[in-house]
Chains A and B, each alone.
Chain A
Amino acid sequence: IGRAGAMAAAAMVVTAAGGGDFSDLREIKKQLLNVAERSRERGLQHSGKWAAELAFALEPLPLNELPPPPELTEEDARDLDAYTLAKSYFDLKEYDRAAYFLQGCKSQKAYFLYMYSRYLSGEKKKDDETVDSLGPLEKGQVKNEALRELRVELSKKHKAQELDGFGLYLYGVVLRKLDLVKEAIDVFVEAAHVLPLHWGAWLELCNLITDKEMLKFLSLPDTWMKEFFLAHIYTELQLIEEALQKYQSLIDAGFSKSTYIISQIAVAYHNIRDIDKALSIFNELRKQDPYRIENMDTFSNLLYVRSMKPELSYLAHNLCEIDKYRVETCCVIGNYYSLRSQHEKAALYFQRALKLNPRYLGAWTLMGHEYMEMKNTSAAIQAYRHAIEVNKRDYRAWYGLGQTYEILKMPFYCLYYYRRAHQLRPNDSRMLVALGECYEKLNQLVESKKCYWRAYAVGDVEKMALVKLAKLHEQLNESEQAAQCYIKYIQDIYSCGEVVEHLEVSTAFRYLAQYYFKCKLWDEASACAQKCCAFNDTREEGKALLRQILQLRNQGETSSTDVAAPFFLPASLSANNTPTRRVSPLNLSSVTP
């Protein structure tokens, strides 16, 4: 009977949910409200919160269209007293007590709460136990003792097909905790089929899927929830373009007010280093949801990168007032101190964040950065290693490790770490530039050139790759290529629009002036030499060169009178065909473990 009831309930929800079909927003809203209520009944706070947030973003429903409260079955009625009592215990975190009173309950809701309480009680005990262990190795080996029993019972129910969507979700969580990843994925997929509206199951799937290939082979239910899932997992897998597209289409479909989507978009922009866009979106988000703490750590990272001290300080104070014992708050404060160069304090706050949640990845990496600032390399290595322990795909930690070893003057050793980082972010120029620098130090100039060129080709953030490449060519006496690189560099700088004081611009002009002078292209040479005069460090040289050119010109006859537009200006750039950025596969001769 239980199974049938569950199926009926699920069927009611699923019917209207067509694949990626957002035409009936009212229906979607009804579903969301329904699932939020049901999640809450089962103590799944976060899934409930997610559904409620999303529902809030949609138009309110008139009274007659509000979904009726879930119907009670005979079994529910029988278990109602026990359930009510246990739920209140559960809310007070007295899990064992809740489980005790729920023993023998047959209804789906009560059964789920029963199992869930047992699971949480096990988890809680496990975490308490770690403090009181006998010996260091045993400490790591404390297990959630309840897991095995739970698995046995749940798998029996699963075999008999008596689990509803929530039950399947719990089963999946238990399997994941036992490191049975494959089985867990299967069960979560099943859970998503049976109850597509439960965000928790989707989220767990996100954590278990490690690459695009795996995603392809999943058979997912064809509902509108799938769109949210895909957008989320694209963000996780660093497929930012696709993720942004998905989110945009969700906004177009009518979820424009959802703070969840807005925050996700901001995070996505943060991931592709589009700092300005991310910042403006975060500011918007804070206007809409001023007491929000989630994702504020990412926001503070952005503020940090832009060195916006007052804004960061304001954010830190604000969050501290809201709740100072939150991981995100600690992280923001850590960033704040770091920006003020008080690295010890910053490290302290990151440590606090880790005490609050040891699985909080970002803090390990940030702590590593702080230790690096304090020149405490061994502590930095430790912190980065921990970050990798938590998440092997954290490219910043790999990059940080590479930097640490680079500081220790071990360029060959750090290659491995940079390569790992590069593998994780193949299109991030910073890793490529770092790799190039290492190869340069090892005197492997061919590899180095490849790296710099590739860094330029994938879109250089710091605009340094071309200069470095040019200097390499200069070293190798490949003046033709060096000049080409400098030209491209100057074009890049000018086409950017913002005339920032770029250090290397003067170097570029000086080299170009010399180059054209050697090639006897007087017009170009004098144009460049004039440009040189605009910079302090090259002024004298520029003037000297101009004089020389004048002399030589007077000796020869002045033939070409029409001075073409300077080649390096954006105008001519648009006229020319822009340099084609062909991205060839980066074939480094070295072995890449």
Chain B
Amino acid sequence: MASVHESLYFNPMLTNGVVHANVFGVRDWVTPHKMALLVLLSELGRAGPQLGLLERRRLNRLLLPLLQGPDMALSRLRKAIEECCPQLAGSVHIRLKLMAEGELKDMEQFFDDLSDSFSGTEPEVHKTSVVGLFLRHMILAYNKLSFSQVYKLYTALQQYFQKDEKKDGADENEMELTNPEELDGKMEKEELDGPLREEEIACSGPLSQKQAEYFLSQQASLLKNDETKALAPASLQKELNNLLKFNPDFAEAHYLSYLNSLRVQDVFSSTHSLLHYFDRLILTGAESKSNGDEGYGRSLRYAALNLAALHCRFGHYQQAELALQEAIRIAQESNDHVCLQHCLSWLYILEQKIFDSCVLLEHSVNKSLHFGLPYLASLGIQSLVQQRAFAGKAANKLMDALKDSDLLHWKHSLSELIDISIAQKTAIWRLYGRSTMALQQAQTLLSMNSLEAVNVGVQQNNTESFAVVLCHLAELHAEQGYFAAASEILKHLKERFPPNSQHAQLWMLFDQKIQFERAMNDGRYHVADSLVAGITALNSIEGVYRKAIVLKAQNQMSEAHKLLQKLLIHCQKIKNTEMVIRVLLSIAELYWRSSCHTIALPVLLQALALAREYSLQYLASETVLNLAFSQLILGIPEQALNILHMAIEPVLAHGAVLDKGCAMFLVAKCQVASAASYTPQKKIEALESAILNLNEAKTYFAKVDCKEQLRDVLYFQARLFHTLGKTQERNKCAMLFRQLHQDLPAHGVPLINAFK
């Protein structure tokens, strides 16, 4: 090896930092920032009696975060002190100035004097108080320093002070631009008068231990709670690489790098970082003597478990299963029940991908409660509720279970799970078709204050539950015809969950669904068709269903029918009941469009039975509407009116605007049809009430801008007015109809035959 450092190989003092890795146990080192704090403390001790009560309280509140927090620039520290007590800030500055501009002797003297505060009959500082411990730590750390280290500390102090001075001179206003490295970089750039590489300038000065830890924990919590506020993936990785380059033993940085790689869905580097983290963790775990072998084995188990989670996240279920088996085996061998419980719930998640198995889950919930793992237990309950809801179990029992798990959450302040639970409720109410309840739950979550007491400022608003709730909210608004509000919500979602983040797919799907609905309402089928591809990419079943709807709307009946039959079989196989009912409804519609009402009836009855069984109320009422329509066409409008009474109430209460309009239109039609057999007096009454209903339908249709339906209503209304002999009204309706009719292409289907 002939490189330039060759002659240095034989320096016996040479260490690389990697050789002696175990210095990590020592936490306290004297840094210039800490010296400034010491000065502050000693000034506080000296000026204590003269300070006012208010100032003193403010200072005390300031001290703790300063002692525990990361190092900061002198100017910031001074500003913080100034806010509490200006004169103290002045005296601290003067003392620092004297020390920094004096000699080494001054600093040594300062440390000698520090220990005085403990002596005397009435000591200024208690030895075991927070401040006392800090002082003693610092004195101890200082005494341990060798001569050259002391000298280095002193020069560091001088630099620390001079940086502050320089900046004060340079620009008073620019307090925030505290990074002197940047200034250096700029100067160098000018010197070079050539382009320097970005990285080199951005490469900020060395971080201290505390700063690095603070940086990591801050970024990690941001990643968890509010991803958009964290550094961008590329720059975060750059910082981490920088950190790791200088200290490869900093295991936590590897973990953060793993999280960061997950953000950008990079399977290679995330696996690499995860394993690296555990390799490092294993060594630190072995070194800590208190845990001994236990800690070491523990990290092995969790390493395997985390690997399983990683594979699951990337959809490698088989790999995940193998890793999980490994974790389970090791955990069993060492009797680690807690780890086993974690494994069990992961096992459920994996099995769920293959087949439903609530047995596992029930077992997991029981065991978790037994071992006192509230988090896992209630997570299990949530999954169980979700699964049972799909399986059509009684709603009251599910709500009961959710309530019980909520009790658990509030007892243990599991704020994350509270969010999940509320989101779950929103989704379940939506599933049952109670939009008002869903709306209320969604609003509850959004307006609730987070329980995270630690960072009050940072709300947990980057989680999946928020995404779910916001998506539902957007859809609910769109259903009611508030498209502007819906798009506002979607815009917000886009900002909060940028397109490459984990939960972005959720809003993408909802966005496209809403657009699809709008396009269908407007009759722009080609637009809807173009959206189908996007929906299919995110959710294949939904995509196929929408495709069939588009085909149906374009009057390609046989293609639509084929597609729907296929979808029906598939959905029955995977037990997606909601979709089964929707498909059945569409099939029935195909039948009555082809005037085969008698065939449509059994299909509808099947749908109705399913919807009742699974208590999907809204779908049930929609089925009833279809049924009533068929009956109307089959010539039994009285019967139709009878069953309509059953459905109209839930539709009006919870339904989408479009459905409300259709329902009212249908009621009017039935009324007219059944009026045929009435006496003239009653007939007029019936017709008038039909006109009122039509008016209502008209307002609903106008809300969602459904011109075709509007036209039909107007025509119908005009005919009714005509029958009643109200010429003026008739003419008005006819004129409106005429206007719309000119805009729209003529419909092939005769008017009375169309229900939707």
**Given A127-B8, A170-B4, A140 and B300 contact (CB-CB distance below 8 Å):** no
CB 8 Å contact bits of B205-246 with A (1 = contact, 0 = none): 011110010000000000000000000000000000000011
Which of A132, A159, A327, A385 touches B148 (beta carbons < 8 Å)? Answer: A132
The stretch among B268-276, B497-505, B637-645, B732-740 that forms the contact with chain A is B268-276
| Cα–Cα distance between A123 and B316 once the two chains are bound (Å) | 48
The answer to whether B18 and A386 touch across the interface, beta carbons within 8 angstroms, is yes
The answer to whether A325 and B10 touch across the interface, beta carbons within 8 angstroms, is yes
A314 at interface (Cβ–Cβ under 8 A)? no
**Given A137-B207, A358-B15, A410 and B192 contact (CB-CB distance below 8 Å):** no
The answer to whether B17 and A379 touch across the interface, beta carbons within 8 angstroms, is no
* Closest beta carbon of chain B to A361's beta carbon, Å: 10
* Closest beta carbon of chain A to B90's beta carbon, Å: 28
A124 at interface (Cβ–Cβ under 8 A)? yes
CB 8 Å contact bits of A113-130 with B (1 = contact, 0 = none): 000100110011001101
The answer to whether B304 and A378 touch across the interface, beta carbons within 8 angstroms, is no
Closest to A182 in B: B197
**Given A120-B4, A134-B152, A413-B323, A178 and B200 contact (CB-CB distance below 8 Å):** yes
Which residues from chain A contact B323 at a C-beta distance below 8 Å?
412-413
Which of A123, A140, A180, A325 touches B246 (beta carbons < 8 Å)? Answer: A140
The answer to whether B11 and A124 touch across the interface, beta carbons within 8 angstroms, is yes
The answer to whether B8 and A591 touch across the interface, beta carbons within 8 angstroms, is no
* Closest beta carbon of chain B to A443's beta carbon, Å: 9
Which of B9, B191, B279 touches A385 (beta carbons < 8 Å)? Answer: B279
The answer to whether A130 and B17 touch across the interface, beta carbons within 8 angstroms, is yes
B307 at interface (Cβ–Cβ under 8 A)? yes
Which of B5, B207, B280, B285 touches A123 (beta carbons < 8 Å)? Answer: B5
The answer to whether A45 and B208 touch across the interface, beta carbons within 8 angstroms, is no
* Closest beta carbon of chain A to B701's beta carbon, Å: 53
The answer to whether A45 and B7 touch across the interface, beta carbons within 8 angstroms, is yes
The answer to whether B7 and A413 touch across the interface, beta carbons within 8 angstroms, is no
CB 8 Å contact bits of B276-316 with A (1 = contact, 0 = none): 10011011011000000000100010011001000100101
Which residues from chain B contact A327 at a C-beta distance below 8 Å?
9
The answer to whether B3 and A130 touch across the interface, beta carbons within 8 angstroms, is no
The answer to whether A203 and B286 touch across the interface, beta carbons within 8 angstroms, is no
A-side interface residues, number (CB < 8 Å): 70
B13 at interface (Cβ–Cβ under 8 A)? yes
Secondary structure at the A interface, as helix, strand, loop or mixed, is helix
The answer to whether A385 and B280 touch across the interface, beta carbons within 8 angstroms, is yes
Closest to A416 in B: B275
B695 at interface (Cβ–Cβ under 8 A)? no
Which residues from chain A contact B4 at a C-beta distance below 8 Å?
116, 119-120, 123, 170, 173, 200
**Given A159-B194, A408-B300, A442-B322, A46 and B18 contact (CB-CB distance below 8 Å):** no
The stretch among B24-32, B44-52, B118-126 that forms the contact with chain A is B24-32
* Closest beta carbon of chain A to B361's beta carbon, Å: 24
A226 at interface (Cβ–Cβ under 8 A)? no
| Cα–Cα distance between A156 and B248 once the two chains are bound (Å) | 34
* Closest beta carbon of chain A to B252's beta carbon, Å: 12
| Cα–Cα distance between A155 and B192 once the two chains are bound (Å) | 8
Which residues from chain B contact A44 at a C-beta distance below 8 Å?
2
The answer to whether B322 and A412 touch across the interface, beta carbons within 8 angstroms, is yes
Closest to B5 in A: A123
* Closest beta carbon of chain A to B262's beta carbon, Å: 13
A521 at interface (Cβ–Cβ under 8 A)? no
**Given A46-B2, A136-B247, A139-B23, A356 and B188 contact (CB-CB distance below 8 Å):** no
**Residue with the highest number of chain B CB atoms closer than 10 Å, among A356, A359, A591:** A591
CB 8 Å contact bits of A413-444 with B (1 = contact, 0 = none): 10011000000000000000000000000101
| Cα–Cα distance between A487 and B12 once the two chains are bound (Å) | 59
The answer to whether A413 and B3 touch across the interface, beta carbons within 8 angstroms, is no
The answer to whether A409 and B329 touch across the interface, beta carbons within 8 angstroms, is yes
A372 at interface (Cβ–Cβ under 8 A)? no
A93 at interface (Cβ–Cβ under 8 A)? yes
Which residues from chain A contact B304 at a C-beta distance below 8 Å?
410, 412-413
The answer to whether B207 and A410 touch across the interface, beta carbons within 8 angstroms, is no
* Closest beta carbon of chain A to B362's beta carbon, Å: 28
A131 at interface (Cβ–Cβ under 8 A)? yes
Which residues from chain A contact B307 at a C-beta distance below 8 Å?
412-413
A199 at interface (Cβ–Cβ under 8 A)? yes
* Closest beta carbon of chain B to A236's beta carbon, Å: 12
Interchain Cβ contacts under 8 Å between A and B, 30 examples:
A44-B2, A45-B7, A47-B2, A50-B2, A120-B7, A130-B17, A135-B208, A136-B26, A137-B207, A140-B245, A140-B247, A140-B248, A148-B188, A152-B191, A155-B192, A155-B194, A170-B4, A173-B3, A180-B197, A327-B9, A354-B19, A355-B15, A356-B9, A381-B283, A410-B304, A410-B326, A412-B304, A412-B307, A591-B319, A593-B267
Taking A49-B2, A116-B4, A130-B17 as known contacts, 8 extra A-B pairs with beta carbons closer than 8 A to each other, sorted by chain A number, are: A120-B4, A137-B207, A327-B9, A355-B12, A356-B9, A381-B283, A401-B279, A590-B316
Which residues of chain B have a CB within 8 Å of any CB of chain A? Answer: 1-19, 21, 23-24, 26, 29-31, 145-146, 148-149, 152-153, 156, 188, 191-192, 194, 197, 200, 206-209, 212, 245-248, 250, 267-268, 271-272, 275-276, 279-280, 282-283, 285-286, 296, 300, 303-304, 307, 311, 314, 316, 318-319, 322-323, 325-326, 329-330, 333
